[in-house]
Structure 1
Amino acid sequence: MTTEFSEPQDIPELESLNLLEFGGEQDLVSTAIQHAQNALPEWTPRDSSTEVVLLESLALILGVEALALQSVGEEVTEQLMGLYGVTRHDGFNTEGQICFQVNGTEPLTVIPAGTRVRYEIEETDETVDFLTTEDATIVTAETLFGYAAIEAEDSGIEGNGIPVGTVLELVDTNILVDEVTISQATYGGESEESDESFRSRASAALSRMSNSLVIPDNFTAAMLMDPRVGRAMTLDIYNPSGTPKTPAPGHVTVAVADQFGEPLNAEVLADLQEVINRQALASLQVHLIAPTYTPVNIAVTVKRSLNSTVEEAKAAVISALTEWLSPATWEWVSKVDKNQITARVIGLPEITALDSTPADIALTGDAPLARAGTITVTVSN
């Protein structure tokens, strides 16, 4: 994927201690002085007095201790969850392919794996280093071009999407190479998992302390413990191959998707199927399926505010509805409620009134997720 590792939506929040909510050293001093004045009305604080200096000194000590203690919770959580097999996802390194153009001064040119090339991001002046993962062998009597797969040295999204033809810097000196260019657009980089996402998966793990999966929430939590899964919903006593809407005792079906609500590939689904089969009760037959995606087309007529243009009003409505109708955050409900459409549109600062809105829109299929389709906005003023 080419976006940041996001926080899963379907798991309970893990509460964390925030000692910094009480403020810094100056806030501690102010609170202590206020308490002293309340307890000793005759006392008047003066700068550089013994009492104030002592309070300030104590606040400096407590401020450092609070910062140190604040980091302890995160470290303990990470170490503890490692005992349950939940570790922070390191992200993925960007991949791609480059083309070496040589000068032909040697009949055979071999550019070894591990050769370093560099891409400079013009907007930020940052650089991304790539290493070749295979040799590039060029018989110059036949061609002056050779190709090699590359992988970014570090994980992250910065190297994604470099277009074909982009010239790279050859960091490792090689007098036989004239130019290095991208021959396959780079892809697949993903940043290290955020603290929020890791805590969410930790919460999912702690919500099911039994090794056996029994109740529906167990199956959902088990899938959300895997960093490849971001959305999960369990359909109890349901067989996707059976008669629709007919209870199927002994069957449990779990719909899974990635962090962005998109379908998982067949290889990942097969691996997850093995994992969940090992944990489920032997008497249960567990099915993994993809959600059912429904493109939702919406047409609304609105009145814009006086300080907004027609284009600004349209853009605001389209943006709000597109964000809402996202597989990454849709709440598995089987209906796009017209009242919800109204609430999201009428609350925009660019809109003063909603003249028309569609009726409720049904989402069919197992584990429904909405996806924004064509959104048509007519501005009537």
Structure 2
Amino acid sequence: MALVTMSYNFRPFIQAVGSGPHTGKNLSREDAAQAMGMMLSSDATPAQIGAFLIAHRIQRPRGEELAGFLDACDRQAQKLPAIEELVTVLGCPYDGRSRTAPVTVITALGLAVDGVPCLTHGSGRMPTKYGMPLIDIWQGLGVDWTKLDRDRLSQSLRQHQLSFYYQPNFFPAAEQLVAYRDQLGKRPPIATMELMWTPYDGKVHLVCGFVHPPTEGLFQTALNLRQQTCFTTVKGLEGSCDLPRSRPAIIGQYGQAQGDNHNPEWERLHLHPIEYDLGGSDVSLESEPGYIEMLQQTIRGDNTPLTPAAIWNLGFYLWRCGVSGSLQQGLTTAEQNLSQGRLMAKVQELRHYVC
């Protein structure tokens, strides 16, 4: 009887988002949080969860609803304990990369080298894309974050300025929703929510990657509702926070990523890599073992096809995070740190820490 009662409690949410363009209704932030909470706790039945996710995808979520989803995750997830500094969180699609070679890990390493605490997060292989996830890239470098508990991961942020949050270890309620992605064959709205997800209890500079321009508006609405005072949006490669080299980088900035971040303002940037002699084709992800080998070579300071993308991305983020006074200075610092092997030294430091 209890399960029947709970399923009846969830039914109005399906009726609201699944009634079509004429009679359908959007959820309030509070109702969206309740709906997500019931899905995470399995108070909704599997049939209801599947129906809600596909109906909500067809209707398209609003920023208010995504804010509610994030509220529910805040209540149920085991987040990393806070440290004193502002942490840059790089939000990338959990279902990974399949077409272009990622440089996200290089960006994270480079920020850490210059004293900017950086957190990446994700899961294992995930539908519908089943692309290469960040955890596999870290493990390819010999850094297995899955072995550490939350306190050790938070300590890594404090001592080494870098850490990784592995969802299966600390948020199993969200992990049990992964099966629905495979069964539905489509990304549900929670895939958009993940790009804004911050599995950390302190102050953050949040970086969100996206593909479709309307998604950026959802980010702005949801994050403003959640009083996120510092964030960056990037029309990145495959929805990641990796800046492309084959086209101008379209970036939105809100707030300051260092120092006083009160009274934030929205700023639009169009950065042309060709103006910095860094334009060119984006490196294809032809094979994962080949990519890991190229990644290791790049981090060691060798000149590889991935090196220009590494410099372009790291240079921008050093500028955005206040380490460098200009984009050109950031690019110069990025090139020097790569060529001098400082990123590889950070990898070796992390390998020792996680052992």
TM-score after normalising by structure 1: 0.23
Q: Name the larger-Rg structure.
A: 1
Structure with greater strand percent: 1
Of Structure 1 and Structure 2, the greater helix share is in 2
